[in-house]
Amino acid sequence: MKPIYKRTKILATIGPASDSEEMIEKLISGGINGARLNFSHGSYQEHADKITKIREISAKLGKNVAILQDLQGPKIRLGDIVNNRFDVAEGDELVLDYAIQQHDGSANLPVQYNLAEKVKVGEPVYIFDGKVRTEVIEILSGTAIKLKVLNKGTLMSRKGLNLPDTDFGGDVITEKDMRDIEFGATQDIDYVAMSFVQTAEDVENVRQILASHNSTAQVIAKIETKKAVSDEELEKIVLASDGIMIARGDMAYEVAPEVVPIVQRKTIALCRKHGKISIVATQTMGSMTDNPQPSRAEVSDVANAVIQGTDVVMLSDESATGKYPYETVRTMRSVIRYTQEHAAVAPIDDIVERGENESLNAISLAAVELAEQIDVDAIVVETKSGQTAATVAANRPALPIVSVTSDKRVAQQLGLNYGTQSYVRPDGEFAGFELAKELKANGFFGDKEVVTIVIVSGRQPGLVGGTDTIRVRTV
């Protein structure tokens, strides 16, 4: 009997509820493939301690786990409000002033970003997760804007603002982000997630900053702004990135709730087409933050993401601050495994492509079609940069993908690729076959006496871009 390995990966946020050695070990054993560190919270020492624990425990368990640094980005918030409450009514006028240091109880409110430099009259400003909707009616000074309130509500200290129609003109990397990137470059980080991306140029800018710090981390663009989800920008952002996080929370405020599932489906299809990682985030198992069971809608949400062919489903508060982080991971794992065994991944109209390497695209597709036609036990990919493994995974085979690389960073990054289990071994002409023999001896293929594999490799082991061979082997 073949063991069942989940093909859609789980990325869990590590926070106060899950940062102990005991819980991290339970989560990795329970099914997570990646750990997200939210740099909106926590000190550098706290993040460094988490990274050390994750690496030590993953090594102990023999599992390559990806670590993702999630940058805060230009999260615009109100300042501190007197008595932490300010009631507003429809028709009221408010002033948001970057120059105000201390609120005096009036309708002149402090804000932690100079909006006067960015907004235009007529643009909407949504405050406190969209609970209070306003519109810019005047730019009062170089630091202050006047808003008209469109509905009754209550404002509180440090609540966030969403400005769906405002063009930040590439100003999406804050000074805090720059410091966080510099710190991350000194740590064992595999991915950097960039918040509030608007254009492909934003992605290129953060890639250059990472390169200037000699970081080998890959870039994940968080899709959450109105501009980013537009037909003009979305595919360009996918092409510029190594992966996309579909940040459904802020997207719902920036665009509209009914737009989110359509953008999710479209983005996953684009990521599959171009061989990029797709991550479905926000409230995937939200009710399990406080309850030991998910809602039926959440189970359907995760299952639909699996059927759409996402690489990763992500947990935020559920694993960071929730009461049941381990139970949430186990539940998500069960939903993924049941779904993949009972429903095929939805096809996409486009042929999968990865960059301009048409030879690699054709070899990867041929390997998947051959493997499925002769019903092999696994596809074994010898890869130096991870590109071949990612391109094979983009074709969404209903088979385990075993990747072997000599680069530890690549092995960790592949932790988030669909269906891929990665191993670090020296480059060699028979690296894939030797690993398959090792895995068979360790029970990876169950109790089968004869295992058949398809090996995708190159005639020059260790050469980036040298993939040119497909072989069928029995072990």
Q: Which residues are designated catalytic?
A: 36, 77, 222, 282
The torsion region of residue 176 among left (phi > 0), alpha (psi -120 to 50) and beta comes to alpha
Amino acid in the structure at residue 441: A
- Kindly report the number of other CB atoms within 10 A of residue 425's CB atom: 15
The answer to whether 183 and 209 have CB atoms below 8 angstroms apart is: no
What sign for the dihedral angle of Cα 199, 254, 218, 453? Answer: negative
Cβ neighbors of 32 (< 8 A, separation 6 or more) are: 10, 11, 12, 65, 319, 329
Provide the 8-state DSSP code for 17.
T
As a dihedral over the C-alpha atoms of residue 366, residue 369, residue 370, residue 371, rounded to 10 degrees, the angle is 120
What is the rounded distance in angstroms from the CA atom of residue 107 to the CA atom of residue 86? 8
Cα separation, 248 vs 259, in Å, equals: 10
Closest CA to 380 of 457, 458, 462, 455: 455
